[in-house]
Every structure is written in C-alpha cells, then in structure tokens.
Structure 1
Amino acid sequence: MIFIFDLKPQLMDFLAELWGSGKSLNTVQMTCRGITVFILALILIRISGRRSFGIGSPLDNIIVMLLGAILSRAVVGASPFIPVMTTCTMIVLLHRFFSWYKGKSSRFIHWIEGDKIMLFKDGRFITENMERAQLHREDVMQELRKRAMTDDLNNIKTIYIERSGEISIVIKE
C-alpha cells in the first residue's frame, strides 16, 4: 500500500511533464494536447447533435476547427512553430486513420457519426425521433419546401436526418 502512495507523486510529476504548462510547451506536450483536444472535440460534437454544423461529418468538422485554431497560434506567434506543425500533422494523421477505419468497421462508424434518423413515415411525424434530432416540424417543412419544392406531405414516403445533419426526403412513386 505504501508503494502506491509513493508512486502517485511520481505519476503526477510525469503527467505534468507530459502535459506541460504555460506558453513554453515542447513538441511532445503540444502533440499530447492536440490529440486530447481532437478526441474531446469529437465527443462534444457528437453530444451537441447534428444540427450544430449540418454539413459534413463530425470528424470532418473537427479537423477544420482544430487546424484553424492551432495553425493560428503559429501565425500569430502564440506558440512555437515546430510544435504547432507537429500537432497539426498528428491531428491530420489521426483524422486519416479514423476516416480509413470507418470503412473497416460499421460499429466504429456508428460511434463516430451515428445513424440516420427517420423523422416522417406513413403520413406522420415520428415525435420521439424529432425530439432526439432536436428538430421542430417547421425545420423539416422548410427542408421539404427547399428540396422537394412542395409542402404537401401526402406526396412524401419518408424523411430522414442523415449522419451529416442534412435532411433527405423520399417521395412516393
């Protein structure tokens, strides 16, 4: 039991060294932070829902946000250039790996991007799915008018919100 308590300060010192503090971060520290931010951003976007961005997958939106934020630090000199470039490279490689692995695992793609949600079927809106997607009937009707050029629900077979946040409409034959 004493060994565990002796190890705790060493572990905390190691983590503090790995994570760094202040503006003087080395390449490894900034890279660790970048990977952590990538994963946290993915979780936050998945939690915030599809309507947050509407176009592109959460994975694609994360890379845009993170690269913009991190690269700006190199541009304004807020962080050393090499750690910024290394961090961005690691984020891009992580994005490429996640994108590649999505094609290999349906469970992984479900976790990363979710599934489409049926919003309308058989002449009625599916209330619990509308609430889950954080949509109001008028949001769907707006997309119906824009995409199908109608507001007549009698001509509609099904309506989905896709993984990207876009609304898809299937018209009756």
Structure 2
Amino acid sequence: MFEMELPWWELVARGAIIYAVLLVMVRVAGKRTVGQFTPFDLLVVMLLSESVSNALSGGDESIPGGLLIAATLIGLNIVIAFLTSRSRKAAELIDGTPVLLGRDGKIFNEVVKKNRVAEGDVEQAMREQDCDLGEMQCAFLEADGKITILKKK
C-alpha cells in the first residue's frame, strides 16, 4: 500500500508526458468551456481520464505513487498558468486566440464551420446580448470558447 512499484521519477515522467499530450489533444479539439459541454463532450472527458489512468500509474497502485502523480499534474498546471500569465505568446499557444465570427451584421459561415461552432450557439449569444443581426458590429469566438457579441454604437 505504501511501497511504490516504480521509481518516483518514472511516475513524474509519466504524469508529465500524459499531461502534455492531453493538453495538445484538448487544444486541437476545439474551444469549449466546461459550461458549454454537451453530454457527448462530458463523456469524452470521462473516457479520456479512464483511458490514461493505467498509463499514468504504470501499474503502481500505491498511495505515495498516486499522490506523486497528482502532485505532478497539479504542479504542471501551476507552471502552465504561470507561463500563460507572464507570456502572451505562451498564452496564445496554449489557450488560443479569439476568432472573428462575424462583422457588420454578417456571420462568416465558413469560419463558424471551421471552428465547429453550432449556428444556434451564435444565435444564442446574440439573444443573450439582446442584439439583432443588423445591430452586430462584431462577433468573436473567445479563446475560452465563449461567444462575445459587440453591438454597433
């Protein structure tokens, strides 16, 4: 229970590798916040965690091994947060950048499709901002997955 089956450095390396690969995979997958997850998105996240659990632990089921992996993942998350708060380039690389979805009352359908945004999501954002299509100056898909609508003055 308290004796690790693998050396400590291997658990740290496994945690770092899995974290980095999942970070890239989630980044490539798109821009959705947790609040915007569909049931299918949530299912994918749950299955991702299950699919990498053995790769993280390498068969080590000890308490110190599990805590070491958890500390590694939290530590990496802190490092990423530190980097993105200090470097605009790191933030753009890891978090992404806003994408212009529409301007002057016109929605750019190709951009919307390319970013895998449902047309209904843009319409919902416009309703939330109490904005008709003719009143829209710009519509952005933010780096965090939220859609922001700016009204004409």
> What TM-score does the superposition give when structure 2 sets the normalisation length?
0.75
Asked if the contact 1:46/1:113 (under 8 Å) is kept, the reply is: yes
- Whichever residue aligns with residue 35 of structure 1, its letter is A
User: What number of residue pairs does the alignment pair up?
Assistant: 135
Pick from 94, 117, 141 the counterpart of residue 161 of structure 1: 141
| 2:46 counterpart of 1:48 | no
Q: Does 1:120 align with 2:102?
A: yes
Contact 1:143/1:167, CA 8 A, preserved across alignment: yes
Length-normalised TM-score, structure 1? 0.67
Post-superposition offset of 1:52: 6.9
Percent of aligned pairs with the same residue?
20
Question: What are the ranges of 5 or more consecutive residues in structure 1 without an aligned counterpart?
Answer: 1-22, 56-61
CA distance in 2, matches of 1:156, 1:52: 23
Is 1:36 the equivalent of 2:17?
yes
Once residues 52 and 158 of structure 1 are traced to their aligned partners in structure 2, the CA distance between those partners, rounded to angstroms, is 21
Matched to 2:89, the amino acid is R
Q: Distance in 1 between matches of 2:92 and 2:72?
A: 23
Matches within 5 A, 1:4-83: 24-51=5-32, 53=34, 79-83=61-65
Q: 1:139 aligns with which of 103, 118, 121?
A: 121
Question: Which of structures 1 and 2 has the larger relative contact order (alpha carbons within 8 angstroms, sep 6+)?
Answer: 2
